[in-house]
Structure 1
Amino acid sequence: MPVITISDLGDPRLADYAHATDVALKNARRSEAGREHGLYLAESLLVLERALRAGHVPRSVLALGASEHEAVAALAAAGHDEVPVFVGPGELLAELTGYILHRGLIASMHRPALPHPEALLAGTGTGGTAATATTAPRRIVVIENVVDPTNVGAIFRSAGAIGADAVLVTPRCSDPFYRRAIRVSMGTVLQVPWTRTGEWHELAPLLREHGFHTAALALTPDAVSLRDFEAHLPEKIALVLGAEGEGLTPEAIAAADTVVQIPMLHGIDSLNVAAASAVAMWAVSRER
């Protein structure tokens, strides 16, 4: 495995790390066959290992100090002996990336192709992981227009920990493969099956076709208490979570079979969307 000590920050092989934005990495197109979906950055050994277990393909690794040996071992265990590991002092790596590598390493990874929502709901493809067959999901989360990658990452972490089978992300939602979203999720973005959806005129019929009861978390006059909703849970549930501040769009609420609200005390009417996702997922989880 090539371990390369950095001597020139202008080395074109380091371009993936040179103050690269998430958008630029997403839009990157590589000539290698099958690697045409852009790149993302996996920060920390834990996230790298989860990405490798999910079948994602590394392009290179940037490592600080002792993290070099951990990166080499992780790549070797996953059968990627050919992937270069670039090493250098912290000050030089910070100059290259624009931030301090507190977690020791960061890897440039090829983005996997996302499945069609139909395949994900049918259990014949998984987004964010290797495209292998899985059982049809019964508990899913729909994230509508959440633009803060920190919240997106936190929702994915709850989905992975509490037991959502899949996540659907609407067109204007922040990208789950953004570095901050992956970091906040502790790599669960790379484990929980997910994909992008169309707008509600496409998504609502698809959810109905696959037998999902759509439960939208919103403050409306006809909203039922989460306590009442969980007392008689449908077989298949799609929890819909809305953007910070604005909440769900009228289209999302119109598409819902039930509008649900979390009971609150002390005159507080709502939680942060990530906190609300954890509460709602816990309430409808089959695994409690």
Structure 2
Amino acid sequence: MHIVRIDDLEHPGLSDYSGLTDVALRRLSEPAGGLYIAESSKVITRAIAAGHRPRSILVQEQWLPEMEALLAPFDVPIFVGAPGLLEKLTGFNLHRGALAAMHRPPLRPVLEVIDGARRVVVIEDVVDHTNVGAIFRAAAGLGADAVLVTPRCADPLYRRSVRVSMGTVLQVPWTRLPEWPEAAEVLKEAGFHLAALALSDTAVGLDVLAENPPEKLALLLGTEGDGLSRDAVSHADTVVTIPMLHGVDSLNVASASAVALWALRVR
């Protein structure tokens, strides 16, 4: 660990932060170079606790003592700069004090991630990073053992997803699924009952499924606008709806995930 105080933006180590701004990240599902950005001391701490390796840290002066203690075991630079300079570099106000460029761990095989799991969340093609982060937070808080995301789902390690999840994307095991029908085949061969959260004339109420839930259950959640795809619904064992009142037909996908996970929690 070594401290580098910066008064301009010419240092080559700063390219991780100028190249991985929100604007750049929106164009990429898996940022080039195998990196992701962890924001705030809490998230950076959780990332390191999960075994992720930092490449560098970017901090304001007042956060330096805390980052020095956290980064003591690592041979990485800590870039320290004035708030205005750091905002010019990153494109946003660094009000949480610290950013870390973290090495992205390789994705694990699906069967390895779900080994021993009883409750799994499948996020299909959800593109809003805030919703992805909120679903992970619900999964962590309400007892899901793993989260699986489809190939077109937003990146769980995108800065906003990590922040909204309060760092739980670094705690809940997750990986990417293949396309349907291979995804369904993998889950069913592992013994999972697939429950699709969708509107359908043949759907059962969540309260009905919760009365006698399957031992191993994968909860399928769809996009913010159209919901689950026809492929996902056609491969589900059960279609489930949350009973609603006052003419409301659905909840935001993150809210729906929390309701369903609580109802279907392992008792």
TM-score normalized by the length of structure 1: 0.89
Separation in structure 1 between the aligned mates of residue 227 and residue 179 of structure 2, nearest angstrom: 16
Instruction: State the partner residue of 1:64.
Output: 60
Quick one: which of 86, 99, 102 aligns to 1:93? 86
Matching of residues 1-288 of structure 1 within 5 Å:
1-20=1-20, 21-22=24-25, 23=27, 26-29=30-33, 38-76=34-72, 79-80=73-74, 82-121=75-114, 123=115, 136-286=116-266
Look up the SS of the partner of 1:271 in the other structure: coil
Separation in structure 2 between the aligned mates of residue 120 and residue 27 of structure 1, nearest angstrom: 22
Separation in structure 2 between the aligned mates of residue 107 and residue 15 of structure 1, nearest angstrom: 12
The C-alpha deviation readout for 1:42-85, integer Å capped at 9, x for no partner, is: 00000000000000000000001221111111112xx21x1111
Look up the SS of the partner of 2:191 in the other structure: coil
Look up the SS of the partner of 2:153 in the other structure: coil
Contact 1:146 1:173 in 2 (8 A): yes
Segments of structure 1 that go 5 or more residues without pairing to the other structure are 30-37, 124-135
The C-alpha deviation readout for 1:187-223, integer Å capped at 9, x for no partner, is: 1011100000111111111111111010000000001
Look up the SS of the partner of 1:16 in the other structure: helix
Segments of structure 2 that go 5 or more residues without pairing to the other structure are none
The 1:47/1:111 distance shift into structure 2, 3 A limit, reads: same
Q: Which has the higher contact order (CA 8 A, sep 6+)?
A: 2
**Cα offset for 1:102?**
1.0
Contact 1:25 1:40 in 2 (8 A): no
Identity %: 57
The 1:11/1:25 distance shift into structure 2, 3 A limit, reads: farther
Q: Give the alignment's Cα RMSD to 1 decimal.
A: 1.2
TM-score normalized by the length of structure 2: 0.96
Contact 1:142 1:169 in 2 (8 A): yes
Look up the SS of the partner of 1:99 in the other structure: coil
1:94 counterpart letter in structure 2? E
Contact 2:46 2:170 in 1 (8 A): yes
1:6 counterpart letter in structure 2? I
Please, which moves more after superposition, 225-234 or 13-22? Answer: 13-22
Separation in structure 2 between the aligned mates of residue 151 and residue 115 of structure 1, nearest angstrom: 23
2:16 counterpart letter in structure 1? D
Contact 1:64 1:104 in 2 (8 A): yes
Look up the SS of the partner of 2:142 in the other structure: helix
